Amino acid sequence: MKHILACAALCVVTLLGGCVGAPIYRGLDAATGDFVSTSSPTVSVKAAEGYANVLSGYTLCRVPYENSFMNSVSANVWFSLQEREGSQLAVMLAECPTGLIWEVRAVGVEYQRLKVFYESNGVGPNDATVRVYVRPASMDPWTPLFLGAGKTAWQGDTLVARYEWTSTTQKDKLVVEYREPAPELLAGMNPRVTDISAFIARSQKAFTLEGVTEPVSPVARVGVGISDSLLAPVVGSVSTNQIILF
């Protein structure tokens, strides 16, 4: 990943010896319970203690080109969902077609139309772009999957801390959502700054990015149908990979 590989590579040197030529795997590691990608990028997302895996799978999603309602392309999306009492994690890795790129910006994504309570554009080599906002229940692609897996998910809106990275080629995008039930607020009111700060602190403790220890124990690939109208605004839009010559 653009920011992830700087830290993950240190782990890869010692953990991935002998894996050259191995098939690329993206999805849940049955042995560790982590969401992993074994190449491009090589990274694992490890949930904090107490989180239990609910569902993992793969889907194709039609995402917009730029902010167009007319032009769209198919992107590969791998995901995993985890929960513990009072919170959830949704991890998603999206890959766009050759010649196109992801950009971490408010174009073609849901928070373009929602009130963002906190935003941080990381400057360090491993920093994420972080946004905190409330996602209305009618726009959430993950709650129906939690419910479909027999879990008792909340029915209302969700307070989301979205952590986002792209790869060095910008062909891959990793998104980790930390999720809690949205607080009840009067119309037009914002959560208290102290409440948002506490929420962000909890989100930071909910997962870590690490290297990948081989051999990975893949789970059977499960195709999951998710509405494009729900998932595409979470994934975001693509743009053209234009090379500027000077």
* pLDDT tens digits along 111-164: 999 999 999 987 776 789 999 999 999 999 999 999 999 887 888 999 999 999
Share of the chain above pLDDT 70, in %: 87
Provide the pLDDT for residue 107: 85
Q: Which residue has the higher pLDDT, 230 or 106?
A: 230
- Is the pLDDT reported for residue 26 higher than 80? yes
- Is the pLDDT reported for residue 11 higher than 60? no
Average pLDDT value for residue range 54-83: 92
Provide the pLDDT for residue 244: 41
Provide the pLDDT for residue 21: 53
Both tokens of 154, joined, read: 């909340």
- Is the pLDDT reported for residue 240 higher than 90? no
- For the whole model, what pTM was predicted? 0.89
Average pLDDT of every residue of the chain: 87
